[in-house]
Amino acid sequence: MTEHRIKSRFLYHYLHDPSAIIGSVLMVVFILAALLAPVLAPQNPYDLETVSLANFLQPPVWMEGGQAPFWLGTDDQGRGIFSTMLYGLRTSLLVGFSVVAVAGTFGVLMGLLAGYYGGWIDVVTMRLADTFFSFSTTLMAILLLGLFKERGVITVVVAICIVDWVRYARTMRGSVMEVKQEAYIMAAKATGAGDVRLLFKHLMPNAIAPIFVVVAVDLAVVIMLEATLSFLGVGVPITQPSLGMMIAIGKDYVYAGMWWMVLFPGAVLILLVVGINLFADWLREELNPKIERNA
């Protein structure tokens, strides 16, 4: 099978899978919205000089009392919900991609080493992974954030990375153990390839496929985790926009009939996570030869 044919098979499957298309379109829309936030948002809700309490608790623009440019209403501090959501998306995606990049790289490396060498490095990595997995990641992240004095996006990223890398390490290790037995690895060894060459030229490229699925699934998990932490008040500080924090602020007003403060950020968070998951599902089916495709 040539490279070209593999690509076109991918494309064919993708174009014939509506959920993959919906998922990826959602992702692209949200990523663009986040990137273009300063252009799209009518207001910078975290520039204290321009936000005014005078605009507080306004309903969405189509309701009585709503007014432009606060399309989706405002919160208790006079921040536009629409603008805050765009900036909040930035935080969500920034945390999501940073964690996936940092925890992913570290986890993959540890998994590679553990799978290839075995011995103490394997024991240490995997027992560590078992320990981490035996606690809920949310709980672990809260404990870690409690230990850090400073609050901010970086702190949240670090805390989530610490609990998250084991996912990658485990998957990578399993995959490496399998690939390690293959004849071409034996062959490479026999021809006298060094460890570094073996690890990065032969093992990694052939064992990495399952990691792509983990990346896609994990992105959604991390975004949800950041929102959860911020909702609970241990995530980003109140001076940073966050979808989780918006929901936390808004929930106190739900009984007062001001639903827009919770509904819109909640819907965006759900759509974002659903989009990523739909795409991840498709990717998993596509990359896993064991699953029979119906299409």
Partner 1 sequence: MKNVLLKLGIVFCLVLMATPALAAADLVVAVDTPPRTMNPHGSDADANLSVMANFFDGLLQLSGGEFKPALAERYEHPDLLTWKFFLRKGVTFHNGNAFDAKDVKFSFERLSDPEVSEFTNTGKSIDTIEIIDDYTVVIKTKEPIPWFANNLHQIFIMDKESTEARDPGEVGQKPIGTGAYKLVEWVKGSYLRLEANENYWEGAPPIKTVEVNPITESSTRFAALVSGKVDLVTGVPVELYDKVAANPKLETINRPARRAIFLALGNAPGAPAADIRVRKAIYMAIDEDEIVEKVMRGQATPTAQVPDPATIGYNPDLQRYPFDPAKAKALLKEAGYENGFEITLAAPNDRYVQDAQIAEAVAKYLAKVGIKVNLDVKPKSVFFPEVQEGKHDFYLIGWLDGAFDMGRTYFNLLHTLDKERGYGTWNGTRYSDADIDRLLQSTTHIVDQAERAKTLQELNKLAMTDKIAWIPLHYQQDIYALQKAAQVKFVPRADRWMVYKEISK
In terms of CB distance, is 74 or 92 closer to partner 1? 74
Residue 51 or 211: the one with the smaller Cβ distance to partner 1 is 51
- Considering only CA atoms, which of 24, 26, 1, 4 is closest in space to residue 14? 24
Cis peptide before 205 (omega within 30 of 0): no
Q: Which of 121, 158, 177, 238 binds partner 1 (CB under 8 A)?
A: 238
Contacts (Cβ under 8 Å, ≥6 apart) of 134: none
Choosing from 52, 105, 136, 288, the residue that interacts with partner 1 (CB under 8 A) is 52
Exposed, middle or buried by CB within 10 Å (0-12, 13-18, 19+), for 3? exposed
Q: Kindly indicate which of the ranges 73-81, 114-122, 208-216, 266-274 contains the residues binding partner 1, using the contact rule CB under 8 A.
A: 73-81
Q: At 74, is the secondary structure helix, strand, or coil?
A: strand
Smallest gap from Cβ 240 to partner 1, in A, equals 10
The pair of structure tokens assigned to 145 is 């954030």
Q: Residues 11, 53, 123, 291: which binds partner 1 (CB under 8 A)? A: 53
According to the binding rule CB under 8 A, does residue 2 interact with partner 1? Answer: no
The alpha carbons of the chain give a radius of gyration, in whole angstroms, of 23
> Does 257 contact partner 1 by CB under 8 A?
yes
255 interacts with partner 1 by CB under 8 A: yes
123 binds partner 1 (CB under 8 A): no
Tokens standing for residue 213:
């699925």
Q: Which residues form the interface with partner 1 (CB under 8 A)? A: 48-49, 51-54, 56-57, 76-78, 233, 237-239, 251-257
